[in-house]
Structure 1
Amino acid sequence: MNSTGGVSPDGPYREEFSMPSVLAYHRPESLDEAQKLASQINTVLIGGGTLVIPEVLSNPTNEAVIVDLQAVGLSGVSSELTDGQNSVKVGAMTRLSDLIENQEIPTLLQELSTKELPSTLRTQATTGGTIADRNGESILLSGFLTLGADIEINGADWIPLSQLLQSKSIEGIITAVKFQVPSPQSKTSFQSVGRTPMDTPIVSAIGISGSKGKPQIALTGVAEVPVLINEVADLENLKPKSDFRGTSNYRKHLASILYFRVAKEVRI
């Protein structure tokens, strides 16, 4: 085969395609500035850009105002001891790769972070972006849910992640996530079923033993967002959507099997 250097043998040609119209790009250096910019119409907030940029590119008719949060100063991991309970606060711009390497992060979240995305994307993807995406198949998000995490909005207000996941939209900028560190006596478990070990699980279950003997167990792949299963009866109320990887009934069947596996492993 002879190379034509990217030019058709019949002469130069132009491939017609549509690109999204980016009206403006901003890189604020303070949270106040970022909040003011975020209030504009058609604003798109980006952290690592692994989730948002592909979405922007897939909607060529949208006119986007990009607000890049990388210079706002929302990264880092810190811990504090309150009433004998150790908690960890993770800045929204903290990369998933940093969660894996930071010793303040519980082992459960470190392991889930390694499975969340390919290694090439974990150095770009942010904790806040993962939360904001509210993907029903995100095992890291499910891990935060299992730990009873709270989410900081605009650097001031805290709301439970479980509440955020049920809201129609996120009002404001996610600035941090905070959760209590499991005690050394706590048991954790992660079970999943996927087409291959490297694929995003079709369904997964994540659990941790509770301080009062009742475990916290969350599922992915059974709803629009990860869900906590508070009672066994909740399994019957699941209505997962079918796709090419599995029917609704198949996903529901997997959810039940994985739930009981995890419940058995984390039972004290």
Structure 2
Amino acid sequence: MRTISQYHRPPTIDEALALLSRTGVTTRPIGGGTSLVGEEILIDIEVVDLQMACSDSITENGEAVEIGAMARLQDLVDSSLVPPLLRELALREGPNTLRNAATLGGTIASADPESELLAGLLVHEARIAISGRGGTSVVPLPGLLADRSLLSNAIIVSISVGRGGTTATARTGRTPADTSIVAAVGRSTPGGSLLAVTGIASTPILVTPPEIDSLNPPSDFRGSSEYRKGLAQTLSARVLSELGGAA
């Protein structure tokens, strides 16, 4: 088993990017560092702590809320500016010890397929600002989850989410407090409805009910592929019924 050989805490994004783009060394960006807990590190790595380089602010910007990548999940829970659905789903991400360490940027970068918060960000039409050596670009969250190479030698700096709308959720876990096996999250606005589902693909995804039929969810000790697909269909129908429309 190898170790973390160097710890860096650069004060600017440019310095962080310079560290991440070096050749001949394996470097990992971290926010709260929770992704490293329990991970078996097979090679020597250096970590770049982004807490000084990136903001943790939460501010209003017209019809959107701008959230710095270093905002802790507990910051989302506590902020009256964050849409109620995202506050609720941030609370579900884990115990307060995790929520006070894990960052929103790190949660997005980790792309946990069972993250209900990521599903909530999808239906709130999250747009992710990413800084690389060529400058800063803004990518819709579905595009980032589909192409993780966008984060190669790049850093998530902020997240913009839409406000308003009617929302609904439905989930199934082994116990009420357990991580969901499958969850459905929906949001309806005058522009239409969006539905996101967890636990049926490599990341949470936006879907329509007919698209669920063509998916091949992974199997594990908590449920077979067919069981997960059935849950997705049932929970999605429940969410859309509560919203009073179709995605």
User: Do they fold alike, i.e. is TM over 0.5?
Assistant: yes
Q: Which moved more, 1:215-224 or 1:232-241?
A: 232-241
Mapping of residues 90-169 of structure 1, within 5 Å: 90-154=67-131, 156-169=136-149
The alignment's C-alpha RMSD in Å is 1.3
Mapping of residues 30-109 of structure 1, within 5 Å: 30-40=12-22, 41-55=25-39, 58-59=40-41, 61-81=42-62, 86-109=63-86
Quote the Cα distance in structure 1 between the aligned partners of 2:115 and 2:68: 18
- Number of the residue aligned with 2:215: 238
Out of 191, 196, 201, the residue aligned to residue 175 of structure 2 is 196
Quote the Cα distance in structure 1 between the aligned partners of 2:113 and 2:189: 23
Q: Which moved more, 1:22-31 or 1:91-100?
A: 22-31
1:73 CA drift (Å): 3.7
Quote the Cα distance in structure 2 between the aligned partners of 1:145 and 1:127: 13
- Number of the residue aligned with 2:155: 173
- Number of the residue aligned with 1:224: 202
* 2:38 match: secondary structure: helix
AA matched with 1:158:
V
1:168 CA drift (Å): 3.9
Are the counterparts in 2 of residues 215 and 267 from structure 1 also a CA contact under 8 Å? Answer: no
Quote the Cα distance in structure 1 between the aligned partners of 2:4 and 2:30: 13
Quote the Cα distance in structure 2 between the aligned partners of 1:159 and 1:73: 18
1:211 CA drift (Å): 1.8
* 1:244 match: secondary structure: coil
CA offsets, 1:54-94, max 9 Å, x none?
Answer: 33xx12x311011111121421101112xxxx111100100
TM-score, structure 2 as length reference:
0.93
AA matched with 2:17:
Q
Quote the Cα distance in structure 2 between the aligned partners of 1:162 and 1:107: 21
1:118 CA drift (Å): 1.2
AA matched with 1:190:
T
Are the counterparts in 2 of residues 187 and 265 from structure 1 also a CA contact under 8 Å? Answer: no
Structure 2 residues not aligned, in runs of 5+: none
- Number of the residue aligned with 1:260: 237
Change (3 A) 1:80 1:168: closer
TM-score, structure 1 as length reference:
0.86
CA offsets, 1:3-25, max 9 Å, x none?
Answer: xxxxxxxxxxxxxxx4x232321
1:187 CA drift (Å): 1.5
Quote the Cα distance in structure 1 between the aligned partners of 2:226 and 2:65: 38
Quote the Cα distance in structure 2 between the aligned partners of 1:62 and 1:34: 21
* 2:34 match: secondary structure: coil
% of aligned pairs identical? Answer: 41
AA matched with 2:44:
E
1:53 CA drift (Å): 4.1
* 2:213 match: secondary structure: helix
Q: Which moved more, 1:68-77 or 1:122-131?
A: 68-77
Structure 1 residues not aligned, in runs of 5+: 1-17
